[in-house]
Amino acid sequence: MNVTLDLRTGDLDERAVHRLLETIPRIGPDDELTILVNSTDAHETDDLVDELRRQGFDYQPKGADGPTYNITAKRLYQ
């Protein structure tokens, strides 16, 4: 299953990290998380990426294709 967290509205601040933390329990061992941010905010994703690492996720940023920047994440350990 793919779970999408759309952060294209609002700032990438502590509220965005909080939304990520609320979403993580929904991610099963074989699921994938897609985080969507505005391409103009891609440089502000460090806190999100750090939290993904702390929570045991591997991630792959996918460059902006138009106005959206994607981060795809999966659990490191099944």
Query: Which residues fall within 8 angstroms of residue 74, CB to CB, at 6 or more apart?
Result: 31, 32, 33, 57, 58, 59
- DSSP symbol at 63: -
* Strand pairing report for 2-6 and 32-38: parallel
pLDDT at position 22, please? 98
Q: pLDDT per residue over 8-67, tens digit each?
A: 998 899 999 999 999 999 999 999 999 999 999 999 999 999 999 999 999 999 876 689
CATH number at residue 38: 3.30.110.40
Query: Which residues fall within 8 angstroms of residue 69, CB to CB, at 6 or more apart?
Result: 36, 37, 38, 39, 41, 42, 45, 61, 62, 63
Domain that holds residue 38: 2-75
Q: How many domains does the chain have?
A: 1
For range 63-76, the mean pLDDT: 89
